[in-house]
Structure 1
């Protein structure tokens, strides 16, 4: 089986590429011209240079049977609104169109729980949908509209299964993701306070399995939340403290403080040429506990539910090793 994958250099994509190779797939990976290939080094993967909006991708996919569209632009900066729409919405539209032209038999589209939204700390499942105007920030909105591109393609007869990962953790978090950044800051002792929020965590290896299981067992047009354990931020920090032996911050910070800093940086200082360090939308998201229910994926796809503690240990070990390698 030949698989075409977008986003193979990213966190989820790199773990998925490894699993596909282990399962005997031949893998072709689309990467941007300026992408770092560290996550694909020494892997038997055919590299295709290009962009999500390239029209010639149908030709590149023509010798593959399945597509995993994992790539997405992630940014919480309000100035990246157009980039997010172009990459996530228009890019998804183009990729799915190229897949249809190439005769791809089945596609797994990587959406996000960001597209589903939240419900005041109540764990929601695939049947829930926040009104789009309630989705915080242009990134979440772009993932919602990108998922609608997949829905429209299904209505036109394309075989697509949608997966909605929650917050993956583990190794190969190269950029890193916002959650990876939390772990890095914790290790560097740069987190004196924390915000009162919550996340649904899942081992990134389970997310990779969820993609293959969706390919094999998913119902066309259905969405499947790939998640595991809901944790408050305080519970997450306590787990990191036990793993690392470092003390967890004990005090929360009032919402208005990071919001005020973010507003000043993005609204005022950025216009003066200063690179902002805190995103307004990131602070706004932190007001919400982002809890999800992955029962459907567990029962219908047999999604693994590996230990979150072990996944955090994997992440801590990987980040610690990267720091040593860079010294």
Structure 2
């Protein structure tokens, strides 16, 4: 039996659809009942029989920091996809990020070892990959992580979670780690997911930013994960990106698909610097949630380019173009806008 943690998230829900469609026996964890509707919603994009497919999943209510709940979830499990995570770039969320991303992953690793799991796939992030001093150099899996850099709290905890997985491999666990770029997929239009970018562009954005990052389609992430679990490879990590693209180009492409105006004005580094400082001040004085951290502002005008050669060579894999992905996800957003409540 296969266990998927974080089954109600963007990657988890799409992974579950693929696994169920391929007639696997699957158990998935969730924390809140209302989040199960998200999975049904994603399934409904791709099948008229989404209720039937959804009901084939054995759902277990479990927090990844609740050991008794997890022990029940791990009964008779042979393969684990660990997708559960907390995504936030707010500095004041650091303790929560550590609790879920690092301590939670340690729990999954420990239970995988004690239950004799054959293989674990952990969904990390390119945020946990190091950077090059020359922005034109491609970042790959061997690029060293520098703890002295001004890393985001999210990146720090995802890197810490990877260390827990590597610790597990030293104790006999076979594992693979995937490091996706910005994941494009439908059904999650709020919060910290990439879908919220489509929502913001649709509602109107005045400014564009000029940084460069790696993007990947959610189905490519899922396909790579499944193939890696079925492949003899183990104790390796893989960057998953389709293309390196500027935020400006992404904003323009998405605006064209959504049939809205693209932003015309550049948000200069000094303006972003002012914005994150005002955001910090609002948080300190009025207690408002952080919307823009110092690290996020910096990344918006930083060029980071990634090399996807390792996964392409190992699996002979070809990624979906980002143009195609933007088109598909943008159309799903428009479809949801027109759905009756």
Shared topology, TM-score over 0.5?
Answer: yes
Q: Aligned residue for 1:74?
A: 87
SS of residue paired to 2:183: strand
Give the distance between the partners of 1:178 and 1:11, measured in 2 at CA.
8
Superposed displacement of residue 268, structure 1:
4.5
1:108-153: CA deviation from partner (whole Å, max 9, x where unpaired): 1111111103322532111112312325211000001110111111
Give the distance between the partners of 2:249 and 2:289, measured in 1 at CA.
32
1:41-74: CA deviation from partner (whole Å, max 9, x where unpaired): 2312111111111212133212121000011110
Give the distance between the partners of 1:253 and 1:128, measured in 2 at CA.
29
Q: Which of 59, 62, 70 pairs up with 1:50? A: 62
Pair 1:266 & 2:265 matched: no
Superposed displacement of residue 218, structure 1:
5.4
**314-323 or 239-248, which moves further after superposition?**
239-248
Q: Aligned residue for 2:317?
A: 303
TM alignment of 1:104-123, pairs within 5 A: 104-119=117-132, 120-123=135-138
**116-125 or 288-297, which moves further after superposition?**
116-125
Superposed displacement of residue 178, structure 1:
4.6
User: What is the number of equivalent residue pairs in this alignment?
Assistant: 325
Q: Aligned residue for 2:165?
A: 150
Superposed displacement of residue 196, structure 1:
1.3
Cα 1:162–1:275 change in 2 (3 A) is closer
Cα 1:265–1:258 change in 2 (3 A) is same
Superposed displacement of residue 211, structure 1:
0.6
Pair 1:65 & 2:64 matched: no
Superposed displacement of residue 306, structure 1:
1.1
Q: Aligned residue for 1:91?
A: 104
Pair 1:139 & 2:132 matched: no
Give the distance between the partners of 1:174 and 1:26, measured in 2 at CA.
29
Pair 1:27 & 2:26 matched: yes
Cα 1:51–1:21 change in 2 (3 A) is same
Superposed displacement of residue 12, structure 1:
1.0
**36-45 or 274-283, which moves further after superposition?**
274-283
Kept in 2, the 8 Å contact 1:218–1:301? The answer is no
Cα 1:319–1:115 change in 2 (3 A) is same
Q: Aligned residue for 2:43?
A: none
Give the distance between the partners of 2:29 and 2:136, measured in 1 at CA.
37
Give the distance between the partners of 1:242 and 1:274, measured in 2 at CA.
33
Give the distance between the partners of 2:189 and 2:263, measured in 1 at CA.
25
Q: Aligned residue for 1:8?
A: 7
**29-38 or 15-24, which moves further after superposition?**
29-38
Provide the TM-score with structure 2 as the length reference. 0.89
Q: Aligned residue for 2:46?
A: none
Superposed displacement of residue 174, structure 1:
4.7
Cα 1:121–1:175 change in 2 (3 A) is farther
